[in-house]
Structure 1
Amino acid sequence: MGQAVGNTLRTNGVTVRTCLDGRSARTRGLAAAAGIEDVRSLADLLMASEVFLSVVPPAQAKTLAEEVAPAMRATGARPLYVDCNAVAPTTIREIAEIVGGDVVDVGIIGAPPRPGSRTRFYASGPDAERLALPGLDVRVLDGQIGTASALKMCYAALTKGSTALAMELLVAAKTLGIFEVLEREIADSQPEQRAVMERALPRAPTVAYRWIGEMEEIAKTFADLGLTPRLLEGAADMYRFAASSPLADERPERRDLSRTMTDTIDELAEHLASPPLDPRD
């Protein structure tokens, strides 16, 4: 997501920088491909920026804020801090307290942006009206930190939560020997759902490691309201399972595009049946 956001901003005339200190070769390659400039340190990045976009796996959102806050204090830099991560409303409010400056809560809905995409950047918070991201569809909701994240959590519960459920029930069907019958029934009686599953499931294992934390943040959102977190905790477990499979060795930009939903379920069912690795091996 970060690479696609940066590339869109750059192609619309924005200077985009990042700090790749300690990052993987893959991340460095993605940044270079997007034309994103690498600076020496986080402090240098903050001093050179008017807007700081946080786009990381949900489990790392608070950690990044905890790194940025002292660097802002040490340098005196005060960029607009825009948290674009899939986190619970209570989490983004904690992040705003950690940063202590001008913070915008953003919930991204849609695939990584590209020409012609319909990706939406829902924004909220007292400084949301200040947010300008050329080339991206920014939609301001209100002046409250947490509103945009709440929207993202409820929406992703439907989309990624449903994908986790589809993965689990189809792996179960394959293991029980009724996959072909069930797949035909879904195609006949739920053709739209069948099409969604065909689009979503082949990609899911390649991004499952990121979605574990997102499901946990949705579970936290529901628990904070007095609702059960268990449905989405189960979704997190399914993505944890997918992330442990050989399919997770791929990444979205280099996954096998010829792999179908059926192929994916076959491999996940085989992974379920395989014995766990001996840590001594």
Structure 2
Amino acid sequence: MAEKTPITIAIMTPGDMGHSIGQVLLSSIKNKFRIITNLTDRSERTQKLSNLAGIIDVKTDEEIIQQADFIFSILVPSQANSVAQRFAPFLNKNKHIIYVDMNAIAPQTVRSISTLFPYGNFVDGCIIGPPPGSHEHIPIVYLSGEYAQKIADLFQFTDLINVSVIGNEIGQASALKMCYASLSKGITAIATQACITAKFFGLEEVFFNELKQSMPNIFEKLNKSIPHMPPKAARWAGEMEQIAKTFENIGLSEKMFQGAAETYQFIAEKTPLGNEIIEERKRGQTLNDALEIMTQSLKKKTYDE
């Protein structure tokens, strides 16, 4: 009996999350999947991660269209629209290919992107949790749209990623991501500002002792999340901007999350920690060291001003 042709999935792009998802799918069932990408103009780190995962670089978008059954868009929020615009003209001529946007973007953003695909070969998705295989917590992919179940079925062969179809409407999965990230990453932004301020006034020891006594769960979270955050701060700033858009669009204030975006921009652009690479961390791996560097990076002011 002839072997079945592998299902080919293009991942744009195989960064932290994308390469891990590709690697998990490749390891789920032998020869079930081929994972491809186009690494043109991608960073050396992304190229390395892609190669380690066994993802094939086919060099061009045209070759992706020739080979792919599905395209997964897993990018920083600011690139979601431009990558969709690259592929939409091809997919409007190749309607069998389904484009899955798994980015952390506002529901109105993903609905706007979906209009680039008038034949409906588009699924809204989001990923909650760490890259698969990297942590005890198993990530979950939430999907919505007409073809959401077809995408969910691709993950049935692995126990390292959970999947849930939550509706037929484009925007539902993205809205869920905005709600979740507003808490998970919004709390980290608030905690970062509080801890930097305590450090600035020389009160960090007193502050931490009080948290340990009155809010131990909060202290445990910030003790882990603040040191782990800096290499991701630039990406998280974009997520906060998308959350601000989401809340503003339904009549809530966007200001809280504009402030959170500015906090992450400060970490990414104004501190040495913003240049750290996850696999090559040198500084800021403890809460105290991270806060020391962040506080030193503040504009020199006195509280008498």
Query: Which of the numbers 142, 147, 153 marks the counterpart of 1:122?
Result: 142
TM-score (norm 2): 0.86
Q: 1:141 aligns to what SS in structure 2?
A: strand
Structure 1 residues 154 and 55: CA distance shift in structure 2, 3 A? same
Amino acid at match of 1:148: A
Counterparts in 2 of 1:127-276, with a 5 A limit? 127-131=147-151, 132-133=154-155, 134-135=157-158, 136-244=161-269, 245-256=271-282, 259-273=285-299
Q: How does 1:12-27 map to 2 (within 5 A)?
A: 12-13=28-29, 14-27=33-46
Q: What's the CA shift for 1:78? A: 3.6
Deviation at 1:26, TM superposition (A): 1.1
Q: Distance in 1 between matches of 2:96 and 2:162?
A: 24
The alignment's TM-score, normalised by the length of structure 1, stands at 0.93
Pairwise CA distance, 1:250: 1.1
* Cα distance in structure 1, aligned partners of 2:140 and 2:86: 27
2:101 aligned residue: 83
Task: Please tell me the residue identity of whatever aligns with 1:122.
Answer: Y
What is the CA–CA distance in structure 1 between the aligned matches of 2:198 and 2:282, rounded to whole Å? 24
Letter matched to residue 20 of structure 2: A
Structure 2 Cα separation of the partners of residues 99 and 207 of structure 1:
30
Q: Is residue 102–residue 127 contact of structure 2 (8 Å, CA) maintained in 1?
A: yes
- Alpha-carbon separation, structure 1, partners of 2:109 and 2:295: 35
Measured against aligned partners, the alpha-carbon deviations of 1:80-135 in whole angstroms (never above 9, x if no partner) come to 11110000000110111113341111111101111754100010111111112342
Higher relative contact order (CA 8 A, sep 6+): 1
Residues 137, 260 of structure 1: alpha-carbon distance in 2 compared, 3 angstrom cutoff: same
Name the structure 2 match of 1:40: 59
Q: Give the CA deviation at 1:177.
A: 1.8
Q: Which residue of 2 aligns with 1:279?
A: none
CA distance in 2, matches of 1:192, 1:271: 28
Question: What do the CA deviations read for 1:157-200 (whole angstroms, capped 9, x no partner)?
Answer: 00000000000111111112211111111111111111101111
CA contact (8 A) 2:95 2:121 kept: no
Alpha-carbon distance between aligned partners in 2 of 1:254 and 1:64, rounded to the nearest angstrom:
28
Contact 2:228 2:285 in 1 (8 A): no
Kept after mapping to 2: 8 A contact 1:18/1:45: yes
Aligned-residue Cα RMSD (Å) equals: 1.7
Segment drifting more, 46-55 vs 95-104: 95-104
Q: In 1, are the aligned partners of 2:124 and 2:170 still within 8 Å (CA)?
A: yes
Structure 1 counterpart of 2:87: 68
Greater shift after overlay, 211-220 or 112-121? 112-121
Gapped regions of structure 1 (runs ≥ 5): 276-281
Matches of 1:263 and 1:208, distance apart in 2: 17
- Secondary structure of 2:197 counterpart: helix
Q: Secondary structure at the match of 2:115?
A: helix
1:46·1:77 contact (CA, 8 Å) conserved in 2?
no
Identity in percent: 37
Distance in 1 between the 2:108 and 2:234 partners? 22
Maintained 8 Å contact 1:47/1:77: no
- Alignment match, 1:2: 18
Contact kept in structure 2, 1:66 and 1:99, CA below 8 Å = no
Q: Which moved more, 1:63-72 or 1:75-84?
A: 75-84
Gaps of 5+ in 2: 1-16
